[in-house]
Amino acid sequence: MMNQSDTKTADMQLDESNPKTVMETGTSAIHIDPAIERRVRWKIDLVVLPLMCLIYFSQYLDKQSLSYAGVFGLIDDLHLVGTQFAWLGSIFYVGQLASEFPAIYLMSRLPLAKFVSCLIILWGGVCMCLAGATTFSSFMGVRFALGLAEGAVSPAFVTLTSLWYKKSEHPMRIGLWISCNGLAQVIGALMMYGIGHNTALAIAQWKAMFIICGALTVFFGILFFFLMPAGPDSAWFLTPEERQVATQRLRAETEGGDQTTFSISQLKETAMDIRAYLSFLFGLLITLPSPVIAFASLIIYSLGYTNFDTMLYTSPAGAVQMVFIWVGIGLCYIWPNRRCAITIGLTIVPLVGIILLFTLPLSSGWGMIVASWLASVISNILTVILSLNASNIRGNTKKAIVNALFFVGYAIGAIVGPLLWNTKNAPRYRSGLVLALVSWLVFIPTVGVYWFTCARDNKRRSTMGMDIFEYADEVTGKDLTDKEDKNFRYNL
């Protein structure tokens, strides 16, 4: 007879006779009791996801606070003219761009959770320093440093998601932490509304906003440092048996875990993979239209509303973002292998918003406000694209490089995009809207090309007829890339 320990081990043995025990990618036949797996996943959701959501909330709050500061005196206090306010947005991404390539190496060499924690604490401190800037040049310098500190966080979060969750779970989990973009918009606008009403402050209201945002970020970074485990095999909130389950369920998809080596062979493979370059284009094309989010407050303010009314009318934009993020997640749940088609469909919303901003008369008031909300709906598309990166890239070094390439494109788009949003062109900002419209129209066929390459490779692999049970022992737990694992299937 088997003892209790043997029984637990048996729950995770290969079971070739029951096809229901084979994991979804076909790369392993490891059987895990569904009830135990659900319990483990629930525990992970209760610890890992809230920590990631807190950090992403604070990151977006820091970014969005510049828009609120522009309405509450920053432009006048720093004597900004022409494209100078736009440059305050762009310079952040110059710093982020400069940090991406060192981050590729460091994310492959250092324990990922601790590395990210230190960056979070650093960026919170830098954010507070924005309150000390008194000139355009000094503010530019601090914003550049802020971009340096934040650059590795988003690509690291994509990697962290893939270290904890199976690829069928990626859209919902990535959607959860990206939903904090919308939450930060809602809460940030209300925070600025409250701070703006406090006339007893010894400093400018926009400076108080940066201090509060930075202090929150430092606090969240400390929590992340002490509470975020390195991976499932060292999770403090799981029992030894649960850690084994958490590790085995990912090994069924040949996820190699958080490695601390940089693979030259994976670097070479990435350089020859068209999807790596398409990932770069995704980052670029999604971000070129994104200045409409930062400038939405100025669009509304330029229509003649007070700064307090502007904050109130800006706040619902975040709620609209969150609604459409969950629309995207829901569609991915209904059609789990149709993420490319879903992405293309989601672009309809910002396209409608941009066209309305072009065509509606400035006197339409609420029409322009609602159009600015719709044009800002970008995070749902970002959610699905990042989930594709998390699901379709294998190999520790390759994943780090592809995620970094996406955010390099993201940074370039965020640098270039705002420069066409000149405050002299308010409130229509026609040149910026043209750029946004063209970007979405190019983005759609780019997703189509990505879809085609994934479907083509899946078809080729399906004709190979490999025995998944023989192959499982060879690949399980190894740091293989998606190209090396011939049983791997790309999500479409």
**pLDDT score, position 404:** 83
Rounded to the nearest 10 degrees, how much is the dihedral formed by the CA atoms of 337, 339, 342, 347? -170
**pLDDT score, position 12:** 41
**pLDDT score, position 258:** 52
**pLDDT score, position 264:** 87
Q: What size, in residues, is the chain?
A: 492
- Copy the structure tokens of residue 22: 């084979």
The amino acid sitting at 61 is L
**pLDDT score, position 5:** 42
**pLDDT score, position 423:** 66
Which of helix, strand or coil describes residue 255? coil
Using only the alpha carbons of the chain, give its radius of gyration. Answer: 23
Instruction: DSSP letter for 360, please.
Output: S
Question: What CATH architecture is 39-229?
Answer: Up-down Bundle (1.20)
Rounded Cα distance between 339 and 362, Å, is 37
**pLDDT score, position 259:** 56
* pTM of structure: 0.77
- Copy the structure tokens of residue 374: 């719709």
Residues of the chain with pLDDT under 50: 1-29, 468-470
- Copy the structure tokens of residue 239: 């029992």
Give me the phi and psi of 30, to 5 degrees please: -65, 130
Instruction: DSSP letter for 407, please.
Output: H
Rounded Cα distance between 274 and 259, Å, is 24
Do 32 and 248 form a contact (C-beta atoms < 8 A)?
Answer: yes
Rounded Cα distance between 159 and 399, Å, is 7
| 396: nearest Cα among 264, 278, 489, 491 | 264
**pLDDT score, position 473:** 52
- Copy the structure tokens of residue 307: 């700064």
SS3 content of the chain, % helix, strand, coil (to 5): 75, 0, 25
Question: Which regions of 37-122 does DSSP assign to beta strands (E)?
Answer: none
Q: How is the chain split into domains, by residue range? A: 39-229, 266-463+472-491
Q: Same topology for domains 39-229 and 266-463+472-491, yes or no?
A: yes
Class of domain 266-463+472-491: mainly alpha
